[in-house]
């Protein structure tokens, strides 16, 4: 049985003083990599995740709605996995 994450759990991950990139994995097998805490809006039942444009991971191109009950685990990503921005 999976743990159910709440909006407060997600807020805790995003409010850490030194935010590091994280991956949200869902029970359906989808993953969402988050490199900027401002691209996430938690609500009571789901979170909105900004999906970044390919040339700038700090700017959202689209938004995915992820149901909190579907989140299996937030996983810390190494900071070195941040997508490179072309110069």
State how far the Cα of 9 lies from the Cα of 44, in Å rounded to an integer.
11
Contact criterion met (CB below 8 Å) for 68 and 6: yes
Answering whether pTM is above 0.95, one says: no
Domain boundaries, the chain: 7-70
Average pLDDT, the chain: 78
pLDDT tens readout for residues 1-24: 456 677 777 777 767 656 778 888
């Amino acid at each position: 049985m999976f743990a159910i994450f709440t909006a407060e759990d997600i807020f805790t991950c995003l409010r850490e003083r030194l935010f590091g990139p994280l991956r949200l994995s869902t029970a359906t097998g989808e993953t969402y990599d988050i490199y900027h805490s401002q691209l996430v809006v938690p609500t009571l039942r789901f979170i909105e995740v900004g999906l970044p444009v390919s040339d700038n991971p700090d700017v959202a191109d689209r938004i995915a709605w992820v149901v909190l009950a579907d989140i299996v685990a937030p996983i810390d990503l190494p900071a070195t996995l941040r997508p490179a921005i072309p110069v």
